[in-house]
Amino acid sequence: MSFGDPNNPYGPPQGQQPGYPPQPPQGQPGYGYPAAPPPQQPGYGYPAAPPVQQYGYGMPMEMPGLMKTSRVLLFVLAGFQILFGLLAGVAVGAAQDVSNGVGSGDSTDSLAGLGFLIAGLLLAMGALSIFLGVKFKTGGSGIRVTTIVYASLMILGGIGNIVNGANGSATFGGLISLAIAGIILASMVNSAASAWFNRPRY
């Protein structure tokens, strides 16, 4: 019994009986072997982009802690400056009214003018403290330089109050001013402050 020419390309493969369904070659997926998983496609962009940092170049994404403390101190300081400025202005005005009432207003005009000048200076410093504190979030290097100058002048004023206070309230106020100004100045002259105020803005 002949099964045909073994070299016939249209005949069944060698080793297979005619009349049986053809057997798939071993090793093909779908016939007892698991199919290889399809290659994973990256989502909407190839290659996947790394996460974008908010300020780029590895800059901090939020304000450094010491600068946050200094910002709060600026607001507290502004409150005291405005309060003392208002109290000084009211006190000088009341004293001048009394002086005018007793007929010696002309001799106290210069002192009253000096008192109003000090009160106005305190109010202006309070407004500057608030402005600097607000601008810490978005300001650039100009805000940093202004804060350094401001804190340095406060330190000089605090030292002056300590020296001339004769252990009274001016000395105590000078110590408080010196401590607050020292913290603010220290927060402005370190590398974290430089990186924060010079960070790129988008």
Written in H, E and C, the secondary structure of 35-93 is: CCCCCCCCCCCCCCCCCCCCCCCCCCCCCCHHHHHHHHHHHHHHHHHHHHHHHHHHHHH
Token duo for residue 96:
């001048």
> How far apart (Å, rounded) are the C-alpha atoms in residues 75 and 53?
30
Q: Report helix, strand or coil for 28.
A: coil
pLDDT confidence of residue 60: 47
- Evaluate whether 135 touches 143 at the Cβ level (below 8 Å): yes
Q: Is the bond preceding residue 22 a cis peptide, omega within 30 degrees?
A: no
Q: Which residue type, as a one-letter code, is found at position 154? A: M
pLDDT in tens, the chain (202 residues): 555 566 666 655 555 555 555 555 555 555 555 555 555 555 555 555 555 444 444 544 578 888 899 999 999 999 988 999 999 889 988 888 888 777 666 677 788 888 889 899 999 999 999 999 999 888 888 999 999 999 999 999 889 888 886 667 777 878 888 899 999 999 999 888 888 888 876 5
Cα gap 168→6, rounded to integer Å: 121
Could you give the C-alpha distances from 26 to 23, 62, 87, 173, in angstroms and in order? 9, 62, 98, 93
- CA distance readout (Å), 1 to 4, 132, 179: 9, 107, 114
| 3-state SS string for 80-127 | HHHHHHHHHHHHHHHHHHHHHHCCCCCCCHHHHHHHHHHHHHHHHHHH
pLDDT at 146 (0 to 100): 94
**Under a CB-based contact definition with an 8 Å cutoff, are residues 154 and 177 in contact?**
yes
